[in-house]
Amino acid sequence: MSHVRLVNVTKRFGAVTAVDNLNFTLEKGECFSMLGPSGCGKTTTLRMVAGFEDLDDGEVYVGDRLLSSPAKNYYLPPEKRDFGMVFQAFAVWPHLSVYENVAFPLRIRKVASTEVKRRVSDALGATNLLEAANKSPDDLSGGGKQRVALARALAINPDVMLLDEPLSSLDPHLREEMRFEIKALQRQFGFCIIYVTHDQSEAMALSDRILVMRGGVAQQIDTPLNVYNSPANQFVFSFIGLSNFLEVRGEGGAYRLAGGDALPAGLAPPPEFAGNARLSLASRPAEIEFDDAPDAAAALRGTVVRKSYLGEIIDYLVRLGDQTIRVQKVRHSPGPEQGANCALRLLRPTWYVCADGE
Amino acid sequence: MSTQSKKKPFIGTAGIILFLSIAILVVFVAFPVILILFNAFWAKGEFNLVDVVNVLREPDTYQALLNSVFIACGTTIGSTIVGTFFAWLVTRTDLPYKNFMKGLFLVPFMLPSFIGALAWKMLLSPRAGYINRFFMDYFGFEEPVFNIYSYYGIMAVEVMYLFPFVFIQVCGALERMDPTLEESARISGAGLFTITRRITIPLVLPSILSGSLLIMLYSMAHFGTVAVLGIENGIFNIPTLIYERIHQSAGSFAAIRTGTVLATVLVVSAAFIIWLQGKILSKGRYQIIAGKSFRPMELKLRGLRYPLLIFCLAYIGFTIVLPTAVIFMVGGLKTYGLPFTMENLSLDNYKFILFDYKTTKDAIWNSVSLGLSAAVITMFAGVMISYVIVKMKVRGKGVLEFLGMLPFSVPGSVIALGVILAWSGKFGINLYNSVWIILVAYIARYMAFSLKANSAALEQVHDSLIEAARACGATMWQSLRDIVLPLVKPGMFAAFFLIFLPSLRELTVSIMLYAPTTRTIGVAIYTLNEDGETVMSAALAGIALVIIITGQTVISRLTGASAKG
Amino acid sequence: MATIQLEGVSRRYGQHTVLEGLNLTVNHGECFTLLGPSGCGKTVLLRLIAGFEDPTSGSIRIGDDLVADAATGVTVPPDSRDLGVVFQEYAVWPHMSVFDNVGYPLKLAGVPKEERVSRVMETIALVNLHGLEKRLPSELSGGQQQRVALARALVGKPSLMLLDEPLSNLDANLREEMRFEIKELQHKLDITVMYVTHDQEIALAISDRIAVMDGKGAIRQIGSPEDIFEKPVDSFMFNFMGVANFLQVRREGSGFFVGQGGQPVPWDKPQGDAVAWVAAFRPSDVIIRRDGAGLKGIVKRASFLGPYMDYLVEIDGTHLRTSVDTHEAIMRDLMFTDGEPCIVDLREKHWFDAQSLGEVGA
């Protein structure tokens, strides 16, 4: 059953269209991430769902309840939407104790005091904060503050939780830990999550589905595995993980690397790309093998111009004519030395038509 | 690689700078204050607390103490309410022309409150005040509508010109506050009114209190308004009583005693207020600045938008435009008391004051030259002292840090009294009755401004900028010249104007130190008014306003331009 | 010859000792990295070498010159040490153009104008900033500002460069790009570089030799990146240099068993009398399979992180983390889900006495 529903949502700031005709629906209990570089419109979208921004066009629903619709001149203010929300900068109130922070949404709703007590301790228990209940949030670490924010959002037991880069103010180690905690809380309480982040591994680890955005336009909505394995376009490919793009020129059915050799026969682009003068051959550094067989039909030939030992992985930069390509291997696998000639086999060559200016 | 290796000299450049800085603060600030304390507590050749108590128990002194506290409390409460309300209005509502209105609310900062008091005297003095007369003549009122020569009159005038202290603090806090603090309350289900009451106000409370205490400090030690409006009705506060005693008794022992005891009370209360302010700020200054910046929520005023705008404009009109206009109009009258008709008004008074009247010509010249010299000297001294405090790691810095706090807690009348004790010949140098004694006092009085502006500028200069220069081969002096000075130039610039402009309208210090030929603008306006030359006094006040407002406009242009560059 | 020699260098602030009796030699032409957790005193050490601070005891030589000696009170001020220094905060002077920033050291040295212009332009080109020489720092990105700082440090042709976390204010991509550039510049100009960082990945990528400092300011190991990573001298070193797995092993008589269970250790056994041991290894040392020889475990948590799958595996009450490249996981049917059984084997491992692990806090 679809739960949160955005229909043709558009937002403009002056002449700039921040969010352009966006559509998606969330199932109950789903974790949905909006992923993209800063300024792509993901935060604006979240703020429209929360009600902090009004739409210029389109509609937002939760279940059957209409939240915003400029066409029907309807707008429900954020305090009436019953969402939980966590912000990047914690936004816990320093003048209230941890307990009072979490109790605030309940007190606003005039919940009976025994019930407040029970629900606050539930929320504090779920976020491991029982010990800190009487402390001031200022006495807690960043991770502690963010737990208070989570507990406060949990207190009303919302069925939609909005998370706006909640982990990006934390250090990497804590970030990973909190990621798992959020996932565990979701399992325990069953809310659905709309999660905004620019960190692809965070989105991958948490989400059931990911929306990749760029310039206010949805690029792809899919499961994490599909976003990684079958990126809808070159932007999505480049945004998720490390990537190489080799420019390929096509002329009369023959293809060659721009400023380099002709493409080996085994690496010809699929037929549907025929007729394009400029193509982009995408690959991931970890999905390239050094191929020892001298007669390999699909191998690209080049020279190792840089070999860096990075501990777990060894990083190679290989020159192919005028272009270079990154290759990464785990430390146990053998590879050529710096300056050596080598042959490369792309395990998963992916083709895109070269867009201008990219 | 240079091979010269040298031993560390015992006293290096750092030591010299430190010594100079301490010397300046001791001579100009600490020494006069110590003399006051000494004179207050050391009577008849011994430490004498009983005498101090006796002085305080004299009815006049006791009353002045009570008055100071009473007026300061009233002014503080009034200013806090007015300042917080207007700050909230221009930052958290959809009031029309908010930025313009915000600028307007800062205008009272420019107006010297004793000139304001003068204007209100002309408007609301019980018999001659224009407003009172208007109501009595045309509406048959038997009694004046409002007597400005009263506690409430004094408080009202002080509130009009002091509320920006709170206004600025609260505006800043509300603007810097992370909007998600309020948004998270909203998503928790709270409406705007609840958020304002339970989240916003508690979070900016430290800023409100700190602004209030600033006003308290200022009002306790404030001379001008009480002198203009209070003395007439026998209302004295501490600074006016000190002035009265010293002035009338021409330096008799008893007068000096009373003066020093009262001054001690001022210093102690000032120190207490500053300590309290520091405590509130350090304990209560929440970390509320962070995160992505979005527009904060605005309360939709709906039907109240224009009524509130009109209210704001009326407030400005009543408290700023009206008094200013009265000053200029009275300044143009042939004789005080005539109605404002075309034939009674002319520019003759202004011409006379600027070109023919020796007293006022001298006063303008004195104020400008005193202001320039004090500003230049204090600016350079301030940058040096701040450099030691902010940037240098030398032994003995603690002493300087303590001395550096001192100028902030010594009110003007205390400085004036201390300067009289120090530089009237008792210690070999007699500057009394010369402009030099005023200059010395100005330097002490405005040192705090310079220290504040310069240390703020220096704190912006990251240590690594200086170290990078050293690593590039610059000596300490070269790095000061090429890196530090150019970078703190805006701070020095700010310090210069922060000193020069207020000194043009200075009254509290100069009134205690002037001689017939060393009147400043403030003193001339005040004494002309005392002598019944109301028209001349108003004309000079008008000219002072023109100079001050022009100066202020020039600075905001200049600093605006340099901030962009 | 730009060598650095530290002998018995200590630095104390009041009661607080930051560095104690440190000895260190940096050879000419090498890129030497001081690597340690924040607050370990590595920056203080660099500042002692630069001359921004003086040692409480001990001596420092740069080349043949004694630049600081606590015993005799000799101290050469930083402006006479002929160094280039680059700071974490860029420290480019905001009131000077790029050209003036870079030209300042030459101006101080009294280099004639014509030569100055050509050398500044040459250095600006070297750090890929051509065309930006008239800009003010406020008009540049963080990465460009750091290039200005780099050019300014290089323009005087110092034989020794000190870099204090120069990349930690940059975003990840830029950081990666710049670290290769710094390495290239160092080779091209044949200078000695002393680099301070807390980031072990940068240290491994950039250094000829690394000195790892612990939280108390003591040097635990000095060696090439491979030495440091592959042959850690103790469990602190192993833990500090990357994601570390510690598998608890107990000795019962002559048998060694994993965790609390009954699976015997299938690898070479540790040498020693201790009862409690840990096998330490990297995620890349783990071979995870569905069947075959090895230890039986359960995938407690599987996380898809894009380029790789991240697994938390439990073996008889003890845990390990490993990852498998996504394409490999798909190709070889290694996409485990939570709760699935698996087989774990190791390529390489280090044995540590479990007691020595206490100080690591693992």
C-alpha A66/C-alpha A46 separation (Å) is 16
Closest Cα of chain A to B202: distance in Å?
7
The strand ranges marked E within C14-56 are: 16-26, 31-35
Least confident of A220-229, B20-29, B107-116: B107-116
User: Looking at the partner chain, which of B189, B191, B288 has a beta carbon nearest the beta carbon of A94?
Assistant: B288
Query: Which residues, at least 6 apart from A124, have a Cβ–Cβ distance to it below 8 Å?
Result: A98, A99, A102, A130, A132, A133, A151
Q: Residues C76, C81, C87, C93: what is their CA dihedral angle, to the nearest 10 degrees?
A: 100
Q: Give Rg (Cα) of chain A.
A: 25
Q: Which residues in B lie closer than 8 A to residue C100 (C-beta atoms)?
A: none
Neighbouring chains of C at 3+ CB pairs under 8 Å are A, B
Q: Which residues in A lie closer than 8 A to residue C305 (C-beta atoms)?
A: 201, 204-205
Residue at a domain's end among A195, A221, A238 = A238
Query: Which residues, at least 6 apart from C24, have a Cβ–Cβ distance to it below 8 Å?
Result: C4, C5, C6, C9, C211, C219, C222
For residue C297, give the H/E element and its range. Answer: strand C295-304
Q: Do B385 and B477 belong together in one domain? A: yes
Interface residue A14 vs chain B (CB under 8 A): no
Residue at a domain's end among B316, B339, B362 = B339
Q: Do B239 and B329 belong together in one domain? A: yes
pLDDT single digits (tens) B324-371: 999 999 988 888 878 888 888 888 888 888 888 888 889 999 999 999
Q: Do A187 and A169 belong together in one domain? A: yes
Report if residue B102 sits inside a domain: yes
Q: Do A211 and A317 belong together in one domain? A: no
Report the b/e string of C23-53 with b at 16+ CB within 10 A. Answer: ebebeebbbbbbbbeeebbbbbbbbbbbbbb
Sign of CA dihedral B489, B493, B499, B503: positive
For the cut 80, the answer to whether the pLDDT of residue B9 exceeds it is no
The predicted pLDDT at position A271 comes to: 87
Q: Which two three-digit tokens encode residue B9?
A: 């000299």
Ramachandran class of A311: left when φ > 0, alpha when ψ lies in -120 to 50, beta otherwise? left
Q: Do B139 and B9 belong together in one domain? A: no
CATH architecture of C237-359: Beta Barrel (2.40)
C-alpha A317/C-alpha C323 separation (Å) is 23
Report the b/e string of C147-157 with b at 16+ CB within 10 A. Answer: bbbbbbbbbbe
Q: Do A64 and A213 belong together in one domain? A: yes
Q: Do A203 and A328 belong together in one domain? A: no
Domain with A249 in it: what CATH number? 2.40.50.100
Q: Which residues in A lie closer than 8 A to residue B187 (C-beta atoms)?
A: 50, 78-79, 81, 83-85, 153, 162
Q: Which residues in C lie closer than 8 A to residue A187 (C-beta atoms)?
A: none
| Domain extent at residue B262 | 58-339
C-alpha B271/C-alpha B219 separation (Å) is 14
Closest Cα of chain B to C79: distance in Å?
4
Report if residue B50 sits inside a domain: no
Q: Which two three-digit tokens encode residue B155?
A: 């408080």
Q: Do A212 and A249 belong together in one domain? A: no
Beta-carbon separation of A89 and B191 below 8 A: no
Report if residue A346 sits inside a domain: yes
Q: Do B413 and B557 belong together in one domain? A: yes
Report if residue A358 sits inside a domain: no
Q: Do B93 and B214 belong together in one domain? A: yes
Q: Do B206 and B274 belong together in one domain? A: yes
pTM of this prediction?
A: 0.82
Interface residue A94 vs chain B (CB under 8 A): yes
Q: Do A23 and A147 belong together in one domain? A: yes
Half-sphere exposure of B321 (CA within 13 A, CB side): 8
Q: Which residues in A lie closer than 8 A to residue B294 (C-beta atoms)?
A: 47, 52
Q: Do A119 and A172 belong together in one domain? A: yes
Q: Give Rg (Cα) of chain C.
A: 25
Query: Which residues, at least 6 apart from B135, have a Cβ–Cβ distance to it below 8 Å?
Result: B141, B144, B145
Considering only CA atoms, which of B390, B391, B394 is closest in space to residue B470?
B391
Q: Which residue of B has its CA nearest to C1?
A: B1
Give the pLDDT mean for C324-334: 90
Report if residue A229 sits inside a domain: yes
Residue at a domain's end among A205, A238, A271 = A238
Interface residue A108 vs chain B (CB under 8 A): yes
Q: Do B335 and B354 belong together in one domain? A: no
Q: Do A204 and A259 belong together in one domain? A: no
More confident residue, B278 or C290: C290
Residue B434, helix vs strand vs coil? coil
Beta-carbon separation of C330 and A205 below 8 A: no
Residue A316, helix vs strand vs coil? strand
**Domain tally for chain B?**
2
Residue at a domain's end among B314, B339, B364 = B339
Domain regions of chain C by residue span: 4-236, 237-359
Considering only CA atoms, which of A56, A60, A74 is closest in space to residue A25?
A60
C-alpha B59/C-alpha B159 separation (Å) is 28
Q: Which two three-digit tokens encode residue C37?
A: 């957790």
Beta-carbon separation of C326 and A228 below 8 A: yes
A interface test, pick of C38, C183, C303 with most A CB neighbours within 10 Å = C303
For residue A330, give the H/E element and its range. Answer: strand A323-330
For the cut 60, the answer to whether the pLDDT of residue B11 exceeds it is no
Beta-carbon separation of A105 and B292 below 8 A: no
Interface residue C110 vs chain B (CB under 8 A): no
Q: Do B488 and B411 belong together in one domain? A: yes
Q: Do B233 and B85 belong together in one domain? A: yes
Cβ B52 vs Cβ B46: under 8 Å: no
Report if residue B48 sits inside a domain: no
Q: Do B116 and B263 belong together in one domain? A: yes
Local confidence pLDDT in tens for the 358 residues of chain A: 568 999 999 999 888 999 999 999 999 889 999 999 988 999 999 999 999 888 999 999 998 899 999 999 999 999 999 999 999 888 899 889 999 999 999 999 999 999 999 999 999 999 999 999 999 998 998 889 999 999 999 999 999 999 999 998 888 888 888 999 999 999 999 999 999 999 998 999 999 999 999 999 999 999 999 999 999 999 999 998 889 999 999 887 788 999 888 888 888 888 888 888 899 999 999 999 998 776 667 789 999 999 999 988 999 999 999 999 999 998 888 889 999 999 999 988 999 988 654 4
Other beta carbons within 10 angstroms of residue A181's beta carbon come to: 17
Under the banding of pLDDT at 50, 70 and 90, the label for residue B564 is: very low
**In chain C, pLDDT over 90 holds for what percent of residues?**
60
Closest Cα of chain B to A218: distance in Å?
23
Report if residue A30 sits inside a domain: yes
Q: Which two three-digit tokens encode residue B14?
A: 């750092």
Q: Do A168 and A261 belong together in one domain? A: no
Q: Which residues in B lie closer than 8 A to residue C75 (C-beta atoms)?
A: 5-8
Q: Is A211 exposed, middle or buried (CB count within 10 Å of its CB: 0-12, 13-18, 19+)?
A: buried
For the cut 80, the answer to whether the pLDDT of residue C361 exceeds it is no
Q: Which residue of A has its CA nearest to C348?
A: A332
Q: Within its chain, how far is the Cα of B305 from the centroid?
A: 33
**Domain tally for chain A?**
2
pLDDT single digits (tens) C3-17: 999 999 999 988 889
Report if residue A211 sits inside a domain: yes
Cβ B470 vs Cβ B398: under 8 Å: no
| Domain extent at residue A348 | 242-353
Report if residue A201 sits inside a domain: yes
CA distances from A49 to A52, A68, A80, B28 (A): 8, 8, 12, 63
Q: Do B361 and B318 belong together in one domain? A: no
CATH superfamily of C4-236: P-loop containing nucleotide triphosphate hydrolases (3.40.50.300)
Report if residue A297 sits inside a domain: yes
Domain with B514 in it: what CATH number? 1.10.3720.10
Residue at a domain's end among A206, A221, A238 = A238
User: Looking at the partner chain, which of A47, A108, A138 has a beta carbon nearest the beta carbon of B190?
Assistant: A108
ipTM of this complex: 0.84
Alpha helical stretches, state H, B322-357: 322-332, 348-351
Report if residue B328 sits inside a domain: yes
Q: Do B237 and B362 belong together in one domain? A: no
A352 DSSP β-pair partners: A280
User: Looking at the partner chain, which of C51, C95, C153 has a beta carbon nearest the beta carbon of B487?
Assistant: C95
Q: Which residues in B lie closer than 8 A to residue A52 (C-beta atoms)?
A: 183, 186, 294, 297
Q: Give Rg (Cα) of chain B.
A: 25
Least confident of A206-215, B47-56, B112-121, B375-384: B47-56
Q: What is the mean pLDDT of chain A?
A: 90
User: Looking at the partner chain, which of C63, C88, C93 has a beta carbon nearest the beta carbon of B483?
Assistant: C93
Report if residue A100 sits inside a domain: yes
Domain with A213 in it: what CATH number? 3.40.50.300
For the cut 80, the answer to whether the pLDDT of residue B470 exceeds it is yes
The predicted pLDDT at position B393 comes to: 76
C-alpha C279/C-alpha B353 separation (Å) is 95
Q: Which residue of C has its CA nearest to A313?
A: C284
CA distances from B433 to A145, A154, B239, B300, B512 (A): 63, 74, 20, 60, 10
DSSP state of B293: -
C-alpha A227/C-alpha A101 separation (Å) is 38
Beta-carbon separation of A152 and B191 below 8 A: no
The predicted pLDDT at position B292 comes to: 44
Beta-carbon separation of C91 and B464 below 8 A: yes
Give the pLDDT mean for C257-269: 88
Cβ C104 vs Cβ C96: under 8 Å: yes
| A170-175 own/partner pairs: CB under 8 Å, 24+ apart | A170/A142, A170/A143, A170/A146, A171/A142, A174/A142, A174/A143, A175/A202
Q: Within its chain, how far is the Cα of B278 from the centroid?
A: 19
Alpha helical stretches, state H, chain C: 42-50, 98-108, 113-126, 142-154, 172-189, 200-206, 225-230, 235-240, 326-331
Query: Which residues, at least 6 apart from A173, have a Cβ–Cβ distance to it below 8 Å?
Result: none
Q: Do A194 and A291 belong together in one domain? A: no
